[in-house]
Structure 1
Amino acid sequence: MNTAAPLVLGDWRALPPALRGATVALGNMDGVHLGHLAVLRAAHAARPQAPLAVLTFEPHPREHFRPDDPPFRLTLLPAKARALGEAGAVLVLALHFDAALATMPAEVFFEAVLRDGVGAVHLSCGQDFAFGHRRGGDAGTLAVLAEAAGMGLTVVPPVADAQGPISSTRIRRVLQDGYPERATAMLGRPWEVRGEVVHGDKLGRVLGWPTANIWLGRHLEPARGVYAVTVSLPDGRELKGVSNIGRRPTLGGDPETRLETYIFDYEGDLYGQEIGVRLRHFLRADAKFAGLEELKAAIAQDAEDARTALAGL
């Protein structure tokens, strides 16, 4: 299967002829968790010689219909496409989700996008997949339409663990509750926040703990506090570190949540570059300290605790 970065397109009408006739995995795929990977495997297994494509939506439909909701995304499009490519997809159709797409009837979506646009030879989806205006189409609708078009369909049952079916909703919940290890188990990899390193107030440098700062932006905000992390650097290395997710109550508070990371045994300038911070273990909740000396001592203890927590990696 493919391991290279997939082609990402926002319009089904721009499909290169060589990628028509794909087998297509359907779904929002936020997080690209173990259940999503099962849908991709089913699509590939049905027609192994066909290109493997994923059809998803950008922005996430929930962002379109409820724009004032707090950010909830597990993966933004670049990270999602990267994970889908690692799972074998050569094409990610991240269809621009707007009013026109939102009001397209299910039958029209199937005919215009999947049949005529993509020329799909096989489809796969989860049991709860819904599509079309007001989610008017479901897996049953898809089965009828696919059969009439001479197209194969695999409906994949949920992948479950001891707590029940794995879902993006469950992963969001365990992250918000401070259990990144549970998220790792359901994702098949640690949850990662990717972003550009921005300039802060340099206080960490003054305290002796220089940090790489990134804004959470449209990512889900997990439990605020201190984490043992590993950091994916632009040069491909993965180093250990300690992160704080919060709004810095000791320093008067920030209007936005930031992720501050002290990377162990690293010296370099990361400003303006993209890094990925992978949450491994939750160490303690966010706290307000009496002053900078107390904060400095807490950071030193956090770093020691993070090194201990990461010793096995």
Structure 2
Amino acid sequence: MHDPAAADRRPFHLVETLDAIPAALTGGVVAIGNFDGVHRGHQAVLAEALDRGQAAGRPVLAMTFEPHPRTVFRPDQPVFRLTPPGPKARLMRALGLDGLLVVPFDRAFASIEADAFVSDILLGRLGITDAVVGYDFHFGRARGGSPAFLAARGARDGFSVEIVEAFADEGAEPVSSSRIRDALAAGDLGLAQGLLGYRWFVEAEVVHGEKRGRELGFPTANMRLGPDCRLRHGIYAVTVAVGAAVHQGVASYGRRPQFDNGAPLLETYLLDFAGDLYGRTAVVTFVSWLRPEQRFDGVEALVAQMHRDTAEARAVLGAVGPGTALDRALGEDP
């Protein structure tokens, strides 16, 4: 499989409309799918695209859709997004792709016939030479386009199609985004990391909070995650990247039962840091689960536990290595 640590640093293009595709991304290889999580199964698809593009000296891009199609058709059941467009683009760049095309998805787009999707988008706008998809990829009106349909169009129209089979983990279970969502909802970071092939992370702006952490001696960088986030409420050992600087930290995600039991918030205490991060974009990487969120008998008991959490986070973060090749590539790409 392609080694992300060896990825070159050619310009990366994040394209968020079909009308803005740069010439640098045309005439190449496209990997198509939702790629939520960019997990090890997705990486097998992307690695095949990269191998083909690099062998032919052609650009390689991923095409994905936003919002997640399942959320469009079932808005009352929004999908817990593992990798919204920002994190997804970070991963695609770290893996060595040349670009990510995020196609706006709505019911009108979903009504496009499979033939038109191939003719107008893959050939007309992208001028592809190769397409790479997973075995279960479907597209077009009523999911009329299957991998077999795409392969038949490729044979007719002169582009190659590679269909990548299901990817299983070391326990012979299929790697899937739903398994990863369930693992994160259970606080099982080890399983999630094993399926992803990297440490899960979130990216958001640091916002003002109630300043309670500052009053307790633990000032925090506060971030609001999406309302669909199902990460288990609790305390985590994390790293925090702001620009090129990376800090160790201990984070709480939850409703603050000691105080207001309000809307979920990610509150991160950066170790050995003093500064103002308001308005900055931070990337919080979850390294280890420490304990559940809980209510204490009083503020003094809470503060005592926060000191213990900080000590445990230091110990955990001091003992872990740099992670996988993809973790290292992400760390080199602020």
CA shift at 1:226, angstroms? Answer: 0.7
Contact 1:5–1:85 (CA under 8 A) maintained in structure 2: no
Match of 1:193 in 2: 202
TM score, norm. by length of structure 1? 0.94
Matches within 5 A, 1:231-310: 231-234=240-243, 236-254=244-262, 256-310=263-317
TM score, norm. by length of structure 2? 0.89
- Structure 1 range deviating more: 41-50 or 263-272: 41-50
Match of 2:144 in 1: 136
Distance in 1 (alpha carbons) for counterparts of 2:101 and 2:202: 22
2:52 maps to 1:51: no
2:222 maps to 1:213: yes
Match of 2:95 in 1: 87
Secondary structure at 1:154's aligned position in 2? strand
Contact 1:5–1:81 (CA under 8 A) maintained in structure 2: no
Q: What letter corresponds to residue 192 of structure 1 in structure 2?
A: F
Q: Deviation digits for residues 176-223 of structure 1, max 9, x if unmatched?
A: 111112222222221001111111111111111111110112562211
Contact 2:70–2:79 (CA under 8 A) maintained in structure 1: no
Match of 1:20 among 26, 36, 39: 26
CA shift at 1:4, angstroms? Answer: 4.7
Q: What letter corresponds to residue 260 of structure 1 in structure 2?
A: E
Paired residues, what number?
A: 311
Matches within 5 A, 1:148-187: 148-163=156-171, 164-187=173-196
Q: Deviation digits for residues 248-268 of structure 1, max 9, x if unmatched?
A: 1110211x2111111111111
CA shift at 1:47, angstroms? Answer: 3.5
Matches within 5 A, 1:107-146: 107-146=115-154
Secondary structure at 2:306's aligned position in 1? helix
Contact 2:183–2:191 (CA under 8 A) maintained in structure 1: yes
Distance in 1 (alpha carbons) for counterparts of 2:248 and 2:79: 27
Distance in 2 (alpha carbons) for counterparts of 1:65 and 1:27: 17
Q: Which runs of 5+ in 2 are unaligned?
A: 1-6, 321-334
Contact 2:110–2:140 (CA under 8 A) maintained in structure 1: yes
